[in-house]
Amino acid sequence: MGEGRGVGEGRGFVTSEDVARRAGVSRSAVSRTFTEGASVSERTRTRVLKAAEELGYRVNRLARSLISERSTLVGVLGANLAAPFMASQVDALSRRLRQEGMQCLLLNAAGAQNDITVLIDQILEFRARAIVVMSGVPPSAIVQECLANGVRVILVNKAIEGAAADTVLADDSAGARLAAEALIRTGCRRPAIVSSADGAASLLRRVESSTAHFIAAGIQPVCWSRSDVSYQTGAAAARELLDTQGIDAAFCVTDQLALGFLDATRESGRRVPEEVQVIGFNDIPQSSWFAYRLTTVRLPLDSLIQAIMDAILRADGSKPLDRLLPLTLVERATTRPFV
């Protein structure tokens, strides 16, 4: 079964051969004992389990998946793992994978956003069942290599032209329109759209959609983008825009930006929402905290995780998943009442 060996200090893992020797049975009997549905007598099963417990034996799931050609390992690529929205996604996905009898191999893609090929190669070496790409955009060639090796690729909030990967997209454009419509309805005339400079496709969609919607309503927004997606960047945006642009509202394309913007706005003495309205995006847990009560665009986390699992678990030979997830606007205390 491919296990290592040993139980004492300086030794390797205990093997099925060690268990067979202790139990006085064949190695195949040990294998059948730990294989669900396999035929083995109760007497043999009892002897094998007793020997396994005495030796501290653990089944090598990786070796077993290589034999069965059905891996239980799912690779997950994510960057900025400390960010609240990414952290909540990874937490929820890893828990759901465990519930389905699968294991999560998490690789931090920070610093590899321009080429995550090396990380995907590492996951392929583990014979993973699927790869969930939450950060970065893999080259089409490496996606095709994964698919040729029977490894499913699930792209979250990104798509690759011509690649037969599964895609799970939040409807960022529609969500950004909801934010712009809310600010227009509540009377803003000088809105800002606050983003980062990292060039993520989802953020660009939010900027483009909200800008177009403001302009269609006869309002020219102030577009601001600097640095990374962080609380500090949002605060810097507020300090600059409030002092120089005279804005009366801000649509921040992530909640992290919005929380920084909100705190800096209050620090400046402006009243929220009477003088300045603020809307975020993602509905991270902190957004609902009493200190913030941020109006934001929500992507239901359970819908996102379910879509990813549907892609991982879909039947072999079925069409790749292509799902667009609807978003909603959550009204809280940082905007005036919608009319």
Neighbours of 204 (CB within 10 A): 15
Q: What is the CA radius of gyration of the chain?
A: 26
Please give the pLDDT value at position 62: 53
Please give the pLDDT value at position 248: 97
Q: How far apart are CA 241 and CA 259, in angstroms?
A: 15
Low-confidence ranges of the chain (pLDDT < 50): 1-10, 66-68
Please give the pLDDT value at position 123: 86
Buried b (16+ CB within 10 A) or exposed e, 210-247: bbebbeeeebebbebbeeebbbebbbbbbeebbeeeeb
Please give the pLDDT value at position 258: 98
The number of residues making up the chain comes to 339
- Are the C-beta atoms of 325 and 171 separated by less than 8 Å? yes
Please give the pLDDT value at position 293: 98
Structural domains of the chain, with CATH: 16-67 (1.10.260.40), 71-164 (3.40.50.2300), 172-299 (3.40.50.2300)
Please give the pLDDT value at position 269: 96
Please give the pLDDT value at position 222: 98
Q: How far apart are CA 51 and CA 45, in angstroms?
A: 10
Strand order in the sheet with 191-195: 222-225, 191-195, 249-252, 277-282, 295-298, 328-330
pTM, two decimal places:
0.80
